[in-house]
């Protein structure tokens, strides 16, 4: 009886490890393969939640990326589930830096990609963010809310 229980526990542990490996191997829809070196000087990090039509998103299959116009400004990121039940996105946003002015406004547009349906989703969400080198937007205890409609 003890051997059967040990084998069951071992099988369950293997399944959990395997499922985590499979989930982490989902390729990102958006990647920043070649970005200008100047962007590295203007990174800012964000911790955010996604709110779609007034409801906080809680789908681990949805990736988010930030754009200015059609220019990709971040790697696509998957959410990380929290013990509170919230799904947080941790993202590095890249920006433009000019020699004369390190701080500037850019209108960000966020796009979602649903890996379960293989669909790119675009919502209305004009958000203005002031970029500043090494700026942190949101935190795990107080995430920035991206409201989409």
Residues 102-129 have pLDDT tens digits of 444 566 778 899 999 999 987 877 566 6
* Number of domains composing the chain: 1
Would you state the pLDDT for residue 118?
A: 95
- Tokens representing residue 127 in the block: 């958000």
pLDDT band at 23 (very low <50, low <70, confident <90, very high): very low
Domain presence at residue 94: yes
CA atoms lying within 13 Å on the CB side of residue 33: 3
Q: Would you say residue 17 has pLDDT above 70?
A: no
Whose tokens are 């059609």? That residue is 70
- Give the HSE-up count for residue 69: Cα atoms under 13 Å, Cβ half-sphere: 2
Q: Are 113 and 76 in contact (CB under 8 A)?
A: yes
- The pLDDT value recorded for residue 103 is 44
- For 108, the domain range is 37-148
| Domain contains 12 | no
Domain at 90, CATH number: 2.60.40
- Whether 143 has a pLDDT exceeding 60, the answer reads yes
Give the mean model confidence (pLDDT) for residues 49-75. Answer: 87
pLDDT top residue among 50 and 15: 50
How far is Cα 56 from Cα 37, in angstroms, rounded to an integer?
A: 35
* Residue tagged 């920035």 (tokens): 144
- pLDDT surpassing 50 at residue 99: no
Asked, for residue 77, whether it belongs to a domain, the answer is yes
Q: Is the confidence at residue 68, as pLDDT, over 50?
A: yes
Tell me the whole-structure pTM to 2 decimals: 0.70
């Amino acid at each position: 009886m003890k051997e059967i229980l040990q084998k069951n526990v071992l099988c369950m542990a293997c399944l959990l490890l395997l499922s985590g490996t499979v989930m982490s191997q989902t390729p990102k829809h958006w990647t920043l393969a070649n970005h200008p070196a100047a962007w590295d000087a203007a990174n800012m990090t964000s911790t955010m939640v996604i709110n779609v039509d007034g409801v906080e998103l809680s789908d681990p299959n949805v990736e988010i990326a930030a754009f200015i116009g059609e220019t990709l400004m971040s790697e696509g990121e998957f959410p990380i589930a929290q013990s509170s039940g919230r799904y947080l996105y941790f993202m590095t946003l890249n920006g433009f830096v000019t020699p004369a002015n390190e701080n500037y406004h850019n209108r960000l547009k966020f796009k979602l990609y649903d890996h379960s349906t293989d669909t790119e989703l675009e919502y209305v969400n004009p958000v203005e963010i002031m970029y500043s080198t090494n700026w942190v937007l949101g935190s795990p205890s107080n995430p920035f809310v991206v409201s989409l409609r």
